[in-house]
Copies of this chain bind each other. A is one copy, B any other.
Amino acid sequence: MLTEPSGPATRLDRPPTLEDVAARVGVSRSLVSIVMRAVPGASQATRQRVLAVAEELNYRPDGRARLLAGRRTRLLGVTLALNNPFHADVAEGIYAAAEPLGYQVVLSAITPSRAASRALESLLSYRCEAVVLLGALVSRKSLGVLAERLPVVVVGQRSPHPAVDVVRADDAEGMRLVVDHLVQLGHRRITHADGGRAPGSAARRNGFRAAMKAHGLADVSTVIAGGEREEDGAAAARTLAEERLPDAVITYNDRSAVGLLDVFARSGITVPGQVSVVGYDDSQVARLPYLRLTTVSQDVAVLADCAVRRAVARLENEPVTDREMVLAPHLVVRGTTGPAS
């Protein structure tokens, strides 16, 4: 049976604190703090002794106390909808971008039982220094109030409020790339199954029309109602299959394209043989070996990186030229587009 080693009474049943480590090493709490934070002010020898004891006691700095005591929290809040693959991708990018800059990220999920305002509230209560909004389902007014308090970065969609930063891809440019690609392949009768009221849908729709017009194809361009879900794409496909097929279809996003492709396959319509199909987002499904969907990449990692850099720039009072960062998307050509027959 083990007996407690001699030394100051150890408070049982509670995680060890700086104080415990300090007592064991025989130095002050401050010194241990210096060592744990890896800041200058301790000799190499002490550093090692402290680290050894910390390890031995299984000491783990208390995040709550750190956050409270420090003059800064270096906390980046992120709101996201868990079931949204785009949000998931961006959030991963945010982690990757934030940690090297010395910022921690805190996630706050938006769910059916937890509105965006609640999610935000919780981030604020931990005194995040800035927030990145992925599902910006917040009213203009509260966005304004929020932006007065701390830097706010909205990712992936426009934002009405002049005080928030925006990082998004250029939807018009994305559509231009797609249309150019299709026209170059010899297609003329091109249909866009739009995103309805989904974020960016209007911009993509307008971009599509403009690009078609630029090629003198305004009269053979069509926009039909779509949506952001697989079933919306499927519905669009059924509509299209009823009449003469266009040369190519551009969907609002990859999810919609997946539904559309599925219905085409079941209807015996070959892709890209009878019709070319282009998605949007370059999400994981687009890369599936059996789908190989031609699509537009918004480069999520870069998007996330820009969002983090912008938030940090605001926090560290670096000069910022424009509040909106519009990134150039790029076309990813895979197997669902081919030459006109």
Interfacial residues, chain A to chain B (CB-CB below 8 A) = 15, 60-68, 73, 82-83, 85, 88-89, 91-92, 95-96, 99, 104, 106-109, 111-114, 121-122, 124-127, 149, 230-231, 234, 259, 262-263, 265-266, 268, 284-285, 288-291
Pick the residue among B67, B230, B263, B288 that contacts A285 (CB under 8 A).
B230
What's the Cα separation between A121 and B122 when bound, in Å? 21
Q: Are B125 and A62 within 8 A (Cβ)?
A: yes
A-side binding surface: helix, strand, loop or mixed? helix
Contact A127 B290 (CB under 8 A): no
CB atoms of A231 and B290 under 8 A apart:
yes
Q: What is the chain B residue whose CB lies nearest that of A271?
A: B266
What chain B residues lie within 8 Å of A73 (beta carbons)?
64
Nearest B-chain residue to A289, judged by Cβ: B231
Q: Report which of B125, B259, B265 forms a contact with A266, defined as CB distance below 8 A.
A: B265
Given A65-B68, A83-B89, A288 and B265 contact (CB-CB distance below 8 Å): no
Can you list 24 residue pairs at the A/B interface with Cβ under 8 Å? A15-B149, A60-B125, A62-B125, A63-B122, A64-B73, A82-B92, A83-B92, A95-B109, A95-B111, A96-B111, A96-B112, A99-B113, A107-B107, A107-B108, A230-B288, A230-B291, A231-B289, A234-B290, A262-B262, A262-B290, A262-B291, A265-B266, A266-B290, A268-B268
Q: In the docked arrangement, what's the CA distance between A266 and B61, Å?
A: 56
* Smallest CB separation, A103 vs chain B (Å): 13
Query: Given the complex, which residues of B lie within 8 Å of A67, measured CB to CB?
Result: 64
Q: How far is the CA of A291 from the CA of B104 in the complex (A)?
A: 41
Which residues from chain B contact A112 at a C-beta distance below 8 Å? 92, 96
Question: What would 5 more interface pairs be, CB under 8 Å, given A106-B106, A268-B268?
Answer: A15-B127, A60-B124, A82-B89, A96-B113, A230-B291
Cβ of B266 and Cβ of A288 under 8 Å apart? no
Chain B nearest CB, measured from A161 CB (Å) = 18
How many angstroms from the CA of A262 to the CA of B127 in the assembled complex? 48
Nearest CB in chain B to that of A65: its residue: B68
For A83, give the chain B residue with the smallest CB separation: B88
> Which of B15, B109, B289 is within 8 Å of A91, CB to CB?
B109
On whether A64 and B68 interact (CB within 8 A), knowing A95-B111, A127-B15, A230-B290, the answer reads: yes
